[in-house]
Amino acid sequence: MAYDEYLQERIEIILNEKKIVFVAKKMMGGLCYMIDDKMCFGVVKNDFMARVGEKAYFDLIDLNGARPMDFTKRPMKGYIFVAPEGVDYDSDLKFWIKKCLEFNPEAKSSKKK
């Protein structure tokens, strides 16, 4: 299934406004944004995928639209899916992007093949 291209466009507008260098990669049936060679956030179907880390996870999981990222039926630690109603407003999307960017320096990069 395709991912939400309108959400993709909104994300890229925010990143370009902030002059953040990123690479968008098609991955997991969606789109993943790599920042500093690390998965930072993405779009899976209609959801925003947020990599916020384990510390912030428990503070954010109860917010509007947030739920555990259970892509493989097992929740992934430090990742949250945010349903469309949770990123409907630009201010909400900017909030989630900010949380992901705050965690990104602590995140481990994937091993290069």
CA 83/CA 72 separation, integer angstroms: 17
The answer on pLDDT for 1 being more than 60 is no
pLDDT, one tens digit per residue, over 52-83 is 999 999 999 999 999 999 867 778 899 999 99
- Hey, where are the domains in the chain? 5-106
Of 70 and 9, the structure prediction assigns the larger pLDDT to 9
User: What is the spatial distance between Cα 111 and Cα 8, in angstroms, rounded to a whole number?
Assistant: 26
- Per-residue pLDDT reduced to its tens digit, 30-50: 999 999 999 999 999 999 999
Class level of CATH domain 5-106: alpha beta
- Complete DSSP assignment for 22-68: -EEEEETTEEEEEETTEEEEEEETTEEEEE-HHHHHHHHTTSTTEEE
Model pLDDT, residue 111: 58
Q: Give the pTM.
A: 0.92
